[in-house]
Amino acid sequence: MMTDYPPFGAGLWHFASYVDRYATDGYAAPVSTLEQIARAGEVGDLTYVDVPYPFTDGVTIEQVKAALTQNGLQAVGVTPEIYMRRFRKGAFTNPDAAVRAQAGAVLNEAADVVRALDARYLKVWPGQDGWDYPFQVDHHQQWTLAVSGMRDLALANPDIKIVIEYKPREPRQKMFWDSAAKTALGIKAMGVENVGVLLDFGHALFGGESPAAAAQLLIDHDLLWAMDVNDNLRGWDDDMVVGTVHPVEVFEFFYTLKVNNWQGVWQLDQFPFREDTVEAARLSIRFLKGIHRALEELDIAALREAQSNEDALGAQRLVQDVLFSCLRSES
Amino acid sequence: MMTDYPPFGAGLWHFASYVDRYATDGYAAPVSTLEQIARAGEVGDLTYVDVPYPFTDGVTIEQVKAALTQNGLQAVGVTPEIYMRRFRKGAFTNPDAAVRAQAGAVLNEAADVVRALDARYLKVWPGQDGWDYPFQVDHHQQWTLAVSGMRDLALANPDIKIVIEYKPREPRQKMFWDSAAKTALGIKAMGVENVGVLLDFGHALFGGESPAAAAQLLIDHDLLWAMDVNDNLRGWDDDMVVGTVHPVEVFEFFYTLKVNNWQGVWQLDQFPFREDTVEAARLSIRFLKGIHRALEELDIAALREAQSNEDALGAQRLVQDVLFSCLRSES
Amino acid sequence: MMTDYPPFGAGLWHFASYVDRYATDGYAAPVSTLEQIARAGEVGDLTYVDVPYPFTDGVTIEQVKAALTQNGLQAVGVTPEIYMRRFRKGAFTNPDAAVRAQAGAVLNEAADVVRALDARYLKVWPGQDGWDYPFQVDHHQQWTLAVSGMRDLALANPDIKIVIEYKPREPRQKMFWDSAAKTALGIKAMGVENVGVLLDFGHALFGGESPAAAAQLLIDHDLLWAMDVNDNLRGWDDDMVVGTVHPVEVFEFFYTLKVNNWQGVWQLDQFPFREDTVEAARLSIRFLKGIHRALEELDIAALREAQSNEDALGAQRLVQDVLFSCLRSES
Amino acid sequence: MMTDYPPFGAGLWHFASYVDRYATDGYAAPVSTLEQIARAGEVGDLTYVDVPYPFTDGVTIEQVKAALTQNGLQAVGVTPEIYMRRFRKGAFTNPDAAVRAQAGAVLNEAADVVRALDARYLKVWPGQDGWDYPFQVDHHQQWTLAVSGMRDLALANPDIKIVIEYKPREPRQKMFWDSAAKTALGIKAMGVENVGVLLDFGHALFGGESPAAAAQLLIDHDLLWAMDVNDNLRGWDDDMVVGTVHPVEVFEFFYTLKVNNWQGVWQLDQFPFREDTVEAARLSIRFLKGIHRALEELDIAALREAQSNEDALGAQRLVQDVLFSCLRSES
């Protein structure tokens, strides 16, 4: 069987080290942007990376470009770090206008990096834009700031595509951009053409969405411009290796992309805190290739027929036939 | 202190008996529509009820009208029971066009009951419109059916207001109308003027929304046409007595209504499976009156000032001052 | 490959029809105990059934015995229905001593049915023994009643094995017997030898346990006497078809049983509300057979080596090799 | 009304600054152990602190003792930081025996600090002792290590009380010591007299326990030796300010302590990431004092009578009477 796999990608942070509120000395020694790129190159099947900005200390954009080229990688997106200390009460929605201006500056610098790296999009994840306590914010004002700030960014960078990555919560107890539907609603209110959505499989899953249904909703609004995958236990953004917990819903997610003829990068957003980061990517891609082969074998006409009757058992039988045999050539 | 309380209401089912998949003989003896109305009248503080349709066996609309009058009650809404056996795979989205037509017939009959009772709205809760298993449905097709069916209903009844009650799940594992944002998105796609939203506090809470934020979002889209309250443990639609678990968020919800000058019925949607149903309503209204008094005492200007700085502690201090003294005159 | 499958079983309710608080007319026409047995026989791979008691109206124990024989089935357990209306505030822990006595009578009658059917155990699931509201019960008193009542039952029936099926919640907001550890703690306090545990995979999963870890804990206390499987979305006891959502954790659960040399019936506890009940069982058993074959192919020595280093990726690679090829001969 | 408040305490980390995986530069500038003690002293109502060990760089035990005295504080416990990088795969259950020995060394040093500070207990929270992926660990082996390691620590320090703080998850996806019942089961297996439990209200809540029921279970086993409070949204260990979300269950928790005549420190375990840490403690204690007053006013005999009938509404009415008037003298 000839299989033409899609391009695979990963956030560069997949190859970094991590801290949390307990292991404040980090789960491993720090990894520079250039070392992260080198590790991404080691994986062997990666074509694209999403590049956080600013780079780690002292790294220049020329070095990043050279490292990408040397490792056979391209930038799919650039992610401005608008969730550090100074933005702890929000970037777009910070109560202090001066901090909002600082966020704007970082975002526009990141847009320049998109241009310099010839990336596909600026990825905006406003992780500190939300609230923690009942009564803490005026939801009308804050949502207005969230939407108008994004609109301003889009108008200031008409040559650049912007994707919003929504997430229900963390690091705030609640985030403003928290679901596919709310993000679509906000984008429609902007009246611009260069803002879309990056759907993170795990964010949808732990937010109680069906990732497949969320993808379909965004596709139906022409807003699904990027995606990434991982896995979790449905209660938190665990950013585990894709397929290790919820392979069936991963499969349904990619099925939805396929039947809509979605073209794009199959991207990883994982945090292998205690694992070898290169090996984590390899295991992920091995699984995604299996998913891709299973999709080629799936009897889609029969599945559609089952779906037209809400025949859950018939649909599952067809799905299990191919999903639970997709690694047979590997074993 | 003179307090002018809002009108209180309740779904008539609050005064019914219930079954579930275990106690199939019911938690109490059956209660007819007329008996439910009589019990609602006993509460003493209720002005409005939401009336399920069809009525229990043999009850006529004339009897219902008479019973309402006799008990000093008015119908705020009518709720068609489009979630019985024949609709188990959906009403608007049933795979069988004949069943969809049956649902349409029930809905239009219920619209006639709205007219006959001079109620404010037809409440549509399509509880069986959703799915249970991964791969069971084609989300594009189903969402299209869900939206277009509601639009047809609205166009066929231009003199009637329709409110959609969204809910994340139950009795299906997932429902199509599952959040404030998704419902707003669907209604905007209809291009009609007579469809709005009924926000159920508990549905928002167990769906991971902030009920206050969801209310504000709907108000900002002119779609919050009705609401009801209850409580739960955030994991399921427990339909417990309001305020028994999450009084702070109930208070924030009503605060949001007040500062937006929302006028409407403060309505109960509770299922007191093992409790005296009249007493459950009385305890609820006692608490809601306390909430109402606390809102009158709340220093809203100071709260707004705290919110303008995302000052969670300052906001909470103001809130606690009034919430935790709101029943002092009762004790 | 020669495969000697384990015996398969199912609760007879798998083949019944269901009601819930919305579809009060039931998801299908009622199915008598004898018809349920006939449907179980149709599945083709079932050897054991768990029999609810009382039987549906008019059915005698002789009829049940004959029907079981005729369909090639044996009773693995008997489940007394101590969760009907009269027990709505509890069976063992009902505040009314007269109701507790009624529950005792039903339980002892069910023990006689265990003897008559030569079943392996009396399965006790006290679904109404719990609470709904904060402050509703005195936890010391209620837990004492829960434990002492079970102890009395055990002492009154020393010739019978009793298994407690724990569950976090539903139909009560919280149940007393809610986890493997708490159930083990309660059983140890009884000081009897004939009480063990039935672990329901879905109950463990939606209660936040790892079903595999819960199984190991019970095995280490010699208390895992029975089990059943199904699937859910981790937030509720959805009783879906096993393997349709969480195949990896199902596999880990059966792996744990295998390495502990656990011998017993692989049993289904599913509620196919809207599905063909016979077909639901067949799809389940097809998957369980795949799991069984995968376990035979799994390189357990290599897996143990990976586990001895907490090597999550190495372990997953070995697991995926066999799990995602376990249906290859079927397709 | 004369009110004799209980002693209040807090973990010293309440007054620290925090990092997480996003704001890696920390939510505020670092705060040394001595500065933390000074801030604790500023609160005005604190008598006890729980002291993490090791202290921040360069701080000596003499300095800590002096600072405590100067600020009118005593150490209630000492918390060894056995969750830093080297323990990322576990302390007691680390696969590497050498790392387990390092953990043992830290724990024994911390026991010496308990002696030096004359604290009441060594608090052990083995946050990295758990697992992340299905199949990652052998649950039998790991639980054996978890229990035997704690037993060894207890035997090596017979003059010291040890309390285990259980938690369902974070930073591991699952922790071994994850519930009251499992912790009690493990402690009973140790056969020692100097190991008990610290119950964290928020851990119980987000683990799906009723904190009040968990407290009662531990009291009934003579194991509730310490506790701390906070609040969360039931899905994560948010460590929010106590009473801001779930005041009713906080009240039930303290009610349970009172009726069992539990004597001990009312302690805070909160992480005010974006808030003033001193003010967060003050708001917390203001609320706890309100709770304490409400408990004095509560008609306990009437409540017990309601509970003896599982009269949820009657119980709630009594509770609301005092809870929602407990701050009236403050406003």
Give me the residue spans of the domains in chain C.
8-276
Question: In this structure, what are the phi and psi dihedrals at residue C200, rounded to the nearest 5 degrees?
Answer: -95, 120
Contacts of B88 in chain C (CB under 8 A): 23, 27, 273-274
List, as one string, the DSSP characters of B171-236.
SSSEESS-SHHHHHHHHHHHT-SSEEEEEEHHHHHHTT--HHHHHHHHHHTT-EEEEEB-B--SSS
Both tokens of residue B36?
């439910």
Q: Searching chain D, which residue's CA lies closest to the CA of residue C140?
A: D216
Does C235 sit within 8 Å of B133, measured CB to CB? no
In this prediction, residue C1 has a pLDDT band, given cuts at 50, 70 and 90, of very low
3-state secondary structure of C294: helix
CATH of A8-276, one of 3.40.190.10, 3.20.20.150, 3.30.420.40, 3.40.190.80: 3.20.20.150
Q: Which of C249, C312, C328 sits opposite A325 (nearest CB)?
A: C328
Count CB neighbours of D99 within 10 A. Answer: 17
Does A88 sit within 8 Å of D27, measured CB to CB? yes
Q: Which of D234, D275, D316 sits opposite B313 (nearest CB)?
A: D275
The whole-number average pLDDT for the span D271-277 is 98
The whole-number average pLDDT for the span B112-136 is 98
Contacts of B246 in chain D (CB under 8 A): 245-246
Contacts of D243 in chain B (CB under 8 A): 320
Q: Searching chain A, which residue's CA lies closest to the CA of residue B219?
A: A140
Q: Which residues of A238-262 are buried (b: 16+ CB within 10 A; e: fewer)?
A: bbbbbbbbbbbbbbbbbbbbebeeb
What is the per-residue pLDDT for D3? Answer: 64
Contacts of A235 in chain C (CB under 8 A): 234
Q: Which of C134, C307, C316 sits opposite D137 (nearest CB)?
A: C307
Does D213 sit within 8 Å of C135, measured CB to CB? no
Chains touching chain C, criterion 3+ CB pairs below 8 Å: A, B, D
Count CB neighbours of D308 within 10 A. Answer: 12
Chains touching chain B, criterion 3+ CB pairs below 8 Å: A, C, D
Contacts of A279 in chain C (CB under 8 A): 313
Min Cα–Cα distance to chain B from A311, Å: 6
Residue A209 buriedness (CB in 10 A; 0-12 / 13-18 / 19+): buried
In this prediction, residue A1 has a pLDDT band, given cuts at 50, 70 and 90, of very low
Q: Searching chain A, which residue's CA lies closest to the CA of residue D23?
A: A84
User: What stretches of D57-96 show up as alpha helix (H) in DSSP?
Assistant: 61-70
What number is the ipTM of this complex? 0.97
Does D274 sit within 8 Å of A132, measured CB to CB? yes
- What is the rounded distance in angstroms from the CA atom of residue B299 to the CA atom of residue D167? 39
Q: Which of A243, A313, A324 sits opposite C327 (nearest CB)?
A: A324
Q: Searching chain A, which residue's CA lies closest to the CA of residue D18?
A: A21
Question: Is residue B329 scored above 70 in pLDDT?
Answer: no
Q: What's the distance, CA D248 to chain centroid?
A: 19
The whole-number average pLDDT for the span A57-78 is 98
For the stretch C153-157, contacts whose Cβ atoms lie closer than 8 Å and that sit 24 or more positions apart, written own/partner, are C153/C104, C153/C107, C153/C108, C153/C111, C153/C124, C154/C190, C154/C192, C154/C194, C154/C195, C155/C192, C156/C108, C156/C111, C157/C108, C157/C111, C157/C122, C157/C194
Whole-angstrom CA distances from A15 to A28, A68, B273, C310 are: 11, 14, 53, 20
With a CB cutoff of 8 Å and minimum separation 6, the contacts of D111 are: D78, D122, D153, D156, D157, D160
- What is the rounded distance in angstroms from the CA atom of residue C80 to the CA atom of residue C52? 6
Q: Which of B247, B286, B320 sits opposite D287 (nearest CB)?
A: B320
Residues in C whose CB is inside 8 Å of some CB of B read 18-28, 83-85, 88-89, 127-128, 132-134, 169-171, 173, 233, 235-236, 238, 240-241, 244-245, 271, 273-274
The crossing angle, in degrees rounded to 10, of helices C211-220 and C180-190 is: 20
The whole-number average pLDDT for the span B239-254 is 98
What is the per-residue pLDDT for B328? Answer: 80
% pLDDT > 70, chain D: 98
% pLDDT > 70, chain C: 98
Interface test with D, best of B27, B209, B310, B328 (most D CBs within 10 A): B328
Residues in D whose CB is inside 8 Å of some CB of A read 18-28, 83-85, 88-89, 127-128, 132-134, 169-171, 173, 233, 235-236, 238, 240-241, 244-245, 271, 273-274
- What is the rounded distance in angstroms from the CA atom of residue D102 to the CA atom of residue C104? 55
The whole-number average pLDDT for the span C304-320 is 98
Contacts of C316 in chain A (CB under 8 A): 241, 244, 283
What is the per-residue pLDDT for C331? Answer: 43
Question: Is residue A331 scored above 50 in pLDDT?
Answer: no
Count CB neighbours of A84 within 10 A. Answer: 18
Both tokens of residue C28?
């299908």
The whole-number average pLDDT for the span A32-46 is 98
- What is the rounded distance in angstroms from the CA atom of residue A199 to the CA atom of residue B149? 28
Query: Mean pLDDT over all residues of chain A?
Result: 97
Both tokens of residue D16?
């620290």
The whole-number average pLDDT for the span C42-51 is 97
Does B18 sit within 8 Å of C19, measured CB to CB? no
Q: Which of A143, A185, A255 sits opposite B185 (nearest CB)?
A: A185
In this prediction, residue D122 has a pLDDT band, given cuts at 50, 70 and 90, of very high
Please give the radius of gyration of chain C, using alpha carbons only, rounded to the nearest integer. Answer: 20
What is the per-residue pLDDT for D1? Answer: 47
What is the per-residue pLDDT for C328? Answer: 80
Query: Mean pLDDT over all residues of chain C?
Result: 97
Nearest to A247 by CA among D195, C243, B113: C243
- The pLDDT tens digits of the residues spanning D234-250 come to 999 999 999 999 999 99
- What is the rounded distance in angstroms from the CA atom of residue D85 to the CA atom of residue A11? 23
- The pLDDT tens digits of the residues spanning B75-111 come to 999 999 999 999 999 999 999 999 999 999 999 999 9
Both tokens of residue B252?
């924030």
Contacts of D216 in chain C (CB under 8 A): 139-140, 143
Nearest to B197 by CA among C67, A185, C133, D52: A185
What is the per-residue pLDDT for D2? Answer: 52
Question: Is residue C29 scored above 80 in pLDDT?
Answer: yes
- What is the rounded distance in angstroms from the CA atom of residue C46 to the CA atom of residue C5? 11
Does D331 sit within 8 Å of B322, measured CB to CB? yes
pTM: 0.98
What is the per-residue pLDDT for A328? Answer: 80
% pLDDT > 90, chain A: 97
Helix, strand, coil % (nearest 5) of chain C?
A: 45, 15, 40
Min Cα–Cα distance to chain D from B191, Å: 37
Contacts of A197 in chain B (CB under 8 A): none
Contacts of A245 in chain B (CB under 8 A): none
Q: Searching chain A, which residue's CA lies closest to the CA of residue C313?
A: A280
Does B274 sit within 8 Å of D312, measured CB to CB? yes
- The pLDDT tens digits of the residues spanning C144-159 come to 999 999 999 999 999 9
Min Cα–Cα distance to chain C from D136, Å: 5
- What is the rounded distance in angstroms from the CA atom of residue D245 to the CA atom of residue D243? 6
- The pLDDT tens digits of the residues spanning C81-120 come to 999 999 999 999 999 999 999 999 999 999 999 999 999 9
What is the per-residue pLDDT for D60? Answer: 98
- What is the rounded distance in angstroms from the CA atom of residue A91 to the CA atom of residue A78? 17
Question: Is residue D328 scored above 90 in pLDDT?
Answer: no
Q: E-strand spans in chain A?
A: 8-11, 46-53, 74-80, 121-124, 130-131, 162-165, 174-175, 195-200, 224-229, 266-268
Given a contact cutoff of 8 angstroms between Cβ atoms, the answer to whether A268 and A45 are in contact is: no
Residue found by looking up tokens 């959609």 in the block:
B164
Q: How many CB pairs under 8 A join B and C?
A: 94
The whole-number average pLDDT for the span D302-315 is 98
Q: Which of A219, A307, A312 sits opposite B138 (nearest CB)?
A: A307
Question: Is residue B330 scored above 90 in pLDDT?
Answer: no
Count CB neighbours of C213 within 10 A. Answer: 25
In this structure, which amino acid lies at residue B321?
D
- The pLDDT tens digits of the residues spanning B175-222 come to 999 999 999 999 999 999 999 999 999 999 999 999 999 999 999 999
A10: left (phi over 0), alpha (psi -120 to 50) or beta: beta
Count CB neighbours of B97 within 10 A. Answer: 9
Q: Searching chain B, which residue's CA lies closest to the CA of residue C242?
A: B133
Whole-angstrom CA distances from D243 to A133, C73, D249, D284, D287 are: 11, 56, 9, 7, 7
